Structure 1
Amino acid sequence: MTECKQQVFGFQALKSRKVTVDFAGGYLSSDGGGLFLREVEERHRIIHKLCECFTDHRHQGYTDHKVRELVAQRINALALGYEDLNDHDRLRLDPVHALLAGKEDLTGEQRVLERDKGYGLAGRSTLNRLELGGCGRDERYHKIEPQPEQIEALLIAEGVKAIPRKSRQIVLDFDATDDPLHGRQEGAYFHAYYKSYCYLPLYCFCGNIPLWAQLRDCKRDASKGTVAALGKIVPAIRRRFGRRVRIIVRADSGFAREAILSWCEQHGLYYCIGFARNPKVASMLAGTFEQLHERIDEDELRIPARQFVEFGYRTQNSWSRFRRMVGKAEVLDKGDNPRFVVTNLPARGFPGEDPERFAPARLYERFYCARGDMENRIKEQQLDLFADRTSTHWEASNQLRLWFSAFAHLILSRLQAEVLKGTQWARASIGQIRLKLFKIAARVRISSRRVHFELASAYPWREDFRRAHANLLLAGYS
């Protein structure tokens, strides 16, 4: 049984010894490893630049929390696994989160109002006003105004800077996904494919680096907005890497649209995009399927069996020209499985490179199918960084939440590339990094000369922690 006497909680004894618990342990946190996030921010100043994209109309003499501190508090909390504003009413007691937000008074003991003493950070109400500032609400309470165009441009600029400087080829993966809605939220429409009311956000990633995160209603084609996104992303890439860098757009069949294909061709981009089958294009594989079935019947091949072919193809009305198509004729236990991609990548490769690199089989299996990794990035956005927590009524504030998740992802991708190399987390998911690196019990001792963190002695991945810290020093962080 559990007993509570004078703030001491008793649990079942360990043989002859009592087991008791109290809350006199001092300032403790479960996010001791989150200090690595602060190092990334101190070097790249991503959150600092993001805060410059907000206009603060508050009277600075009456504010306890700067915009920089509010945005840092929100983004770092997402990275550490706290999805809701409600969480911040408890997190405002946490000295680790206060340090990450840039607070000098980590415990809130120096705050002016007596009711606020002991709380180093803002609560949910203040953060809520931050997120709703761009919705045209009552100006008396919503005085922090985001600048969407600047935030969008900053995500692109910082994302492009995160791409390795010596890259000769940059692959841009585009995809749309569903973000279910509940109630009469602004922009809520029913989507027949997903069978729910939802948003349809558009993402662009380069590897695990987010470059574009656009919240859209679902009453549109999945590819809508891709050309506009390319029109902003591609110039930023070429300013950093020069016009000779090879840019390849990769996406599923929802993006095989004339506007996208022709834009890429006109601006010197390559593409490899899925194509939904129709009777005409399916007929191009009829002979190949016949050959496969004959060879299977004669025991020359076993199921699953596949063969790749390429051919020129033009749609009846929508395309302006013939384009290179690669078809996969695959026989599975459940039947035939034809698949297609459209591409302008050269069949014989680029001069001085492997001439078989973009041959039909390798193009489909090694290059096109690799776009499936972007699905993992979207899962991380929605499941690990809570990009689907778009629960406010207004679309503008939900877009801001989506950007906060994207910037958290960008910071974590920087951390993984520069600090976690050589550790077990170099290619781990965000959830694993959070569980094994960030979630460390820590006692915080604060004096006039230093802030000292005592991490749990039983922490099992101490060697990887040391290696990550050594990477900080080697990379010139501290």
Structure 2
Amino acid sequence: MTECYQPELRFSSFSRRKITADFTGGDLTSNAGLLLLRECDQHLGLSRSVAEVVNDPRRPACVEHSTEQLVRQRLLAIAAGYEDLNDHDQLRFDTALQVGSQRLSPLASTATLCRFEQQQDRSVAIGLHKVLFDQFVARHKKPPKRLVLDFDATDIPVYGEQEQRIIGKAEYTRGGPNPRFITTNLEGDGEELYRKLYCARGDMENRIKDQQMDLFASRTSCHRWWPNQWRLLLSALAWVLYEYLREQLQDTKLGKASVATLRNRLIKVGAVVIKNTRRFRFLLPTLLPDREIFCKLATRLVPT
């Protein structure tokens, strides 16, 4: 990584003491919680499954970064809050992301990740949907009694001169603004069905918010259709990691936390990194607010 001179930053004084800062702290990370998501990924075999269905026409003899490493790098970066490919110009040197991606040296560059993204097509999108379906099935010890499939539209803006697919939806009613009605073949009182059954789908809406607001499902700024689908599905795959993490937290105060809360409290953790030929050592904050939960997660996720 290119190093350049960084001036000392000066802040207003406090108690007759000068306050300064600079960028000479050495090997630190603000993403130490990726160690937890790395364990989730290994438990689920998620990146491995994705790597088996994506397009990667590179010559194996000339490859420096494996397909699975590229998938892990992109997936964990999104989970950590970095949606832009340009972020990887610096992120590729982050030790926590390197460890999460199972690599001992700098990760793939922005250009490499961009070329990889452009190779994905319709067949890959279909394959990734199957990966998501298999993950869902694997999370159930026995088949659920009932599955509710809720198909709903969601708005994702496009940018620039990219391809577009336009779907129109129109509703007309004489019931005034914001009518509440359902059409169903289920027996029972309509209002009760609406309040007790249909409104339960509100939690599903929260999952959509997780992906659009916190996992960047709406970041579809590529000029081509299928790479945008790849980005959208990466968001869904990152959500699978967080859902597995949330399963391990059911007996804690974070058992129903949103993705944003989980990221802020457990993933965006600062650490000093010490590494040698034998191990990586992450020195976490002594006063980490959720230290007990972090330790509990590590114990549960790491195989004995």
TM-score over 0.5 for the alignment? yes
Give the letter aligned to residue 68 of structure 1: E
Contact conserved, 1:53 with 1:150, CA < 8 A, in 2?
yes
Whole-Å separation in 2 of the counterparts to 1:132 and 1:158: 25
Give the letter aligned to residue 185 of structure 1: Q
**Counterpart residue number, 2:45:** 45
Whole-Å separation in 1 of the counterparts to 2:291 and 2:231: 34
CA shift digits 1:94-117 (9 cap, x unpaired) = 0001111111x1xx3xxxxxxxxx
Answering whether residue 224 of structure 2 is matched by residue 397 of structure 1, we say no
**Counterpart residue number, 2:182:** 341
Give the letter aligned to residue 100 of structure 1: G
Q: Which has the larger radius of gyration?
A: 1
Over 3 Å counting, the alpha-carbon distance change for 1:360 and 1:472 in structure 2 is same
Give the letter aligned to residue 54 of structure 2: F
Contact conserved, 2:92 with 2:107, CA < 8 A, in 1?
yes
- TM-score of the aligned structures, taking structure 1 as reference length: 0.58
Structure (1/2) with the larger helix percentage: 2
Whole-Å separation in 2 of the counterparts to 1:77 and 1:65: 16
**Counterpart residue number, 1:134:** 120
**Counterpart residue number, 1:380:** 210
**Counterpart residue number, 1:92:** 92
Contact conserved, 1:51 with 1:67, CA < 8 A, in 2?
yes
Whole-Å separation in 1 of the counterparts to 2:101 and 2:82: 15
**Residues 246-265 of structure 1: matches in 2 within 5 Å?**
none
Whole-Å separation in 2 of the counterparts to 1:445 and 1:375: 42
Query: Which structure's relative contact order is higher, taking Cα pairs within 8 Å and 6+ residues apart?
Result: 2
Query: SS state of the match for residue 288, structure 2?
Result: coil
**Counterpart residue number, 1:451:** 280
- TM-score of the aligned structures, taking structure 2 as reference length: 0.89
Structure (1/2) with the larger strand percentage: 1
Q: CA deviation at 1:61?
A: 2.7
Over 3 Å counting, the alpha-carbon distance change for 1:368 and 1:90 in structure 2 is same
Aligned Cα root-mean-square deviation (Å): 2.6
Q: CA deviation at 1:164?
A: 6.1
User: Unpaired segments of 5 or more residues in structure 2?
Assistant: none
CA shift digits 1:71-118 (9 cap, x unpaired) = 111111111100100111110110001111111x1xx3xxxxxxxxxx
**Counterpart residue number, 2:292:** 463
**Counterpart residue number, 1:198:** none
Identity of aligned residues (%): 39
**Counterpart residue number, 2:138:** 161
Give the letter aligned to residue 48 of structure 1: R
**Residues 302-451 of structure 1: matches in 2 within 5 Å?**
338-347=179-188, 359-417=189-247, 419-451=248-280
Q: CA deviation at 1:427?
A: 0.6
Contact conserved, 1:79 with 1:408, CA < 8 A, in 2?
yes
Give the letter aligned to residue 219 of structure 1: I
**Counterpart residue number, 1:19:** 19
Whole-Å separation in 1 of the counterparts to 2:178 and 2:277: 69
Query: SS state of the match for residue 102, structure 1?
Result: coil
Q: 2:152 aligns with which of 175, 178, 193?
A: 175
